[in-house]
């Protein structure tokens, strides 16, 4: 009798109806799973023989027979760890998010490492660049100056000339010894520079006749260049635009301006020290007036006034009053004190009229103008003739008889043996506070190859405001603001030491308005040389730019750009055809 072969251990025959036990130790079924071989996807089919050698030593093709339940419905205890969609029921499970001391220390170390790398590869190069550039890389008003009042920076045309010695980056104030910072310099070291319009970011040489002072020369950009480490302005005897002479005038108008501080320049004067006739000068003017452009100056120069009274009126009178303004004045104008047309942009300007602003808290406009402070105007004087400089400021409105308060508190001479009050005190078009000082007699082109330092330091405004001038690198004189205070005789208020942004002018000309001309002994060509121009300011009060917030100029200049670019327009109301804004002191503000 033959008996069916028993199944091999761990195997089931193909036709077996054997029910497989659930392996509870491997999981729990949620619902019924297949339990018989016939239900298995791994059934062997009829006639299958599993008696080969390989069958004896191989695992069954049915993984269920290995001892594991592979049902997809099997739920195991650690399933939650592999399922991100299931949240823990334990809200206080500290293992899900925890902070350890070691973890915090690791994060701190990473932060320190990242910061160190940033400082090393970004911070350090920036710091070293700023240090090497010098102190002016404060970014003055954040940008640079161009025709709209910003400062350009390209090549060696930054605010500080790269050739400026580091040891002169700071300077002590002449007034109180406080530290001043270099904010602008031009050393003129590069030969052959051109100053035609658009060729330089800070300077422009004018191409015009300076008719206002009856100059005998035409100002030509070709007369201005650099050579041997100096700016050179050459004056020649030659026919030019119908005139017999050619000179040069260089200006930083609307390109570089400063308000307050100290301007210093090193100069070799033209010709010799005992022949009269040349008119070399370095001076400054408020940016709302452009030197040589008459229409821009009408009603602007030389005012520096912020009151609403008769000082703003034409001829400094209203209906013939005050009487003191009609006598003891300019003999050429019937003894009238003033022949000025009135302050165009005064504090009396009616609301809504054309004015650059800003406004005071009471709603009135700030009085605006184009004041002038001269570094020097060179001349000859004395017996015998010697070289001198007149160092002045011009003012409007005027004191009675042009007599400002030059008491010892307000006019302080550095060395009375070489300085004295100028005999010229004013005319119908200007009042001058001026002192004449003997120059260094050897620093002239035909005497000796040397340069002399001239400059002025000033604080704008009233009360403790002042101007201190320097000649031959020594203080020549000081004017305190109370010297141009109110004058009840002509019913005017105090005039401010100029608060406008001031630009720089350097020129070499000739005019019989300024003094006699010794045509017989003058030699041509002659040259004025400037070794450098430097400007310093109190490091607590840096104020450079031609369009400062408190005294804006850009919008007004752009609105009237024709009068600032066409020198043939000589008057505002005539040639330009525009009225002065209405003045509340003179007329009603209601239409």
- How does pLDDT run across 38-70, given as a tens digit for each residue? 444 444 444 444 455 555 556 666 666 666 666
Angle, CA of 30, 31 and 33, to the nearest 5°: 120
Question: ω into residue 209 within 30 of 0, thus cis?
Answer: no
Residue ranges of the chain with pLDDT lower than 50?
A: 1-50, 90-91, 94-95, 133-154
The model's pLDDT over 152-191, given as tens digits with 9 standing for 90+, comes to 444 577 899 999 999 999 999 999 999 999 999 999 999 9
Cα 591 to Cα 583: distance, rounded to the nearest angstrom:
12
- Count CB neighbours of 113 within 10 A: 10
Q: How many residues are there in the chain? A: 591
Question: How much is the pLDDT for 155?
Answer: 59
Tokens 């008889």, residue located: 401
- The DSSP-derived string for 201-255 is SS-EE--EE-GGGT-SEEE-GGGEEEETTEEEEEEEEEEETTEEEEEEEEE-TTT
Place of tokens 């002449």: 174
Question: Of 76, 116, 96, 265, which Cα lies nearest the Cα of 185?
Answer: 265
pTM of this structure: 0.76
pLDDT of 55 reads 56
Which pLDDT score, from 0 to 100, does residue 105 have? 86
């Amino acid at each position: 009798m033959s008996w069916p072969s028993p199944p091999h251990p761990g195997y089931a025959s193909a036709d077996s109806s054997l029910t497989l036990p659930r392996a509870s130790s491997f999981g729990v079924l949620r619902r019924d799973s297949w339990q018989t071989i016939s239900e298995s996807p791994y059934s062997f089919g009829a006639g299958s023989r599993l008696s080969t050698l390989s069958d004896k030593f191989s695992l069954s093709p049915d993984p269920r027979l290995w001892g594991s339940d592979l049902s997809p419905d099997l739920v195991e205890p650690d399933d939650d760890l592999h399922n991100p969609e299931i949240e823990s029921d334990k809200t206080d499970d500290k293992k899900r998010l925890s902070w350890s001391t070691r973890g915090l220390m690791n994060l701190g170390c990473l932060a320190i490492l990242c910061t160190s790398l940033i400082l090393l590869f970004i911070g350090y190069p920036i710091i070293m660049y700023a240090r090497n550039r010098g102190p002016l890389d404060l970014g003055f008003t954040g940008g640079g100056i161009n025709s709209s009042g910003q400062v350009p920076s390209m090549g060696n045309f930054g605010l500080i000339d790269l050739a400026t010695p580091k040891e002169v980056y700071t300077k002590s104030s002449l007034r109180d010894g406080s530290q001043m910072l270099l904010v602008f310099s031009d050393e003129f070291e590069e030969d052959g520079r051109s100053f035609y319009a658009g060729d330089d970011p800070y300077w422009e040489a004018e191409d015009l006749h300076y008719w206002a002072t009856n100059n005998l020369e035409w100002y030509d950009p070709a007369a201005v260049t650099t050579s041997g480490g100096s700016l050179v302005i050459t004056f020649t005897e030659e026919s030019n635009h119908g005139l017999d002479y050619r000179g040069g005038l260089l200006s930083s108008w609307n390109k570089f301006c400063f308000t307050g501080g100290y301007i210093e320049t090193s100069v070799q004067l033209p010709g010799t020290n005992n022949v009269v006739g040349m008119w070399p000068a370095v001076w400054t003017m408020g940016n709302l007036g452009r030197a040589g452009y008459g229409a821009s100056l009408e009603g602007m120069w030389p005012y520096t006034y912020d009151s609403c009274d008769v000082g703003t009126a034409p001829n400094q009178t209203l209906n013939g009053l005050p009487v003191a303004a009609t006598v003891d004045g300019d003999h050429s104008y019937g003894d009238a004190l003033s022949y000025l047309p009135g302050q165009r942009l005064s504090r009396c300007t009616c609301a809504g009229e054309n004015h650059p602003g800003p406004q005071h808290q009471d709603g009135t406009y700030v009085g605006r103008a184009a004041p002038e402070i001269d570094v020097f105007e060179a001349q000859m004087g004395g017996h015998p003739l010697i070289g001198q400089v007149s160092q002045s400021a011009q003012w409007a409105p005027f004191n009675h008889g042009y007599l400002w308060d030059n008491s010892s508190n307000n006019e302080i001479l550095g060395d009375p043996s070489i300085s004295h009050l100028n005999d010229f005190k004013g005319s119908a078009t200007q009042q001058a506070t001026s002192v004449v000082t003997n120059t260094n007699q050897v620093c002239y082109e035909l005497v000796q190859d040397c340069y002399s330092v001239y400059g002025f330091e000033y604080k704008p405004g009233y009360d403790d405001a002042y101007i201190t001038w320097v000649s031959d690198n020594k203080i020549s004189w000081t004017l305190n603001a109370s010297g141009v205070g109110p004058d009840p005789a002509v019913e005017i208020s105090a005039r401010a030491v100029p608060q406008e942004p001031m630009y720089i002018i350097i020129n070499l000309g000739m005019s019989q308005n300024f003094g006699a001309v010794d045509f017989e002994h003058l030699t041509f060509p002659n040259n004025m040389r400037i070794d450098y121009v430097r400007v310093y300011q109190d490091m607590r009060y840096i104020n450079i730019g031609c369009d400062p917030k408190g005294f804006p100029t850009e919008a007004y200049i752009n609105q009237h750009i024709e009068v600032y670019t066409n020198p043939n327009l000589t008057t505002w109301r005539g040639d330009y055809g525009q009225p002065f804004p209405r003045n509340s002191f003179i007329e009603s503000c209601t239409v």
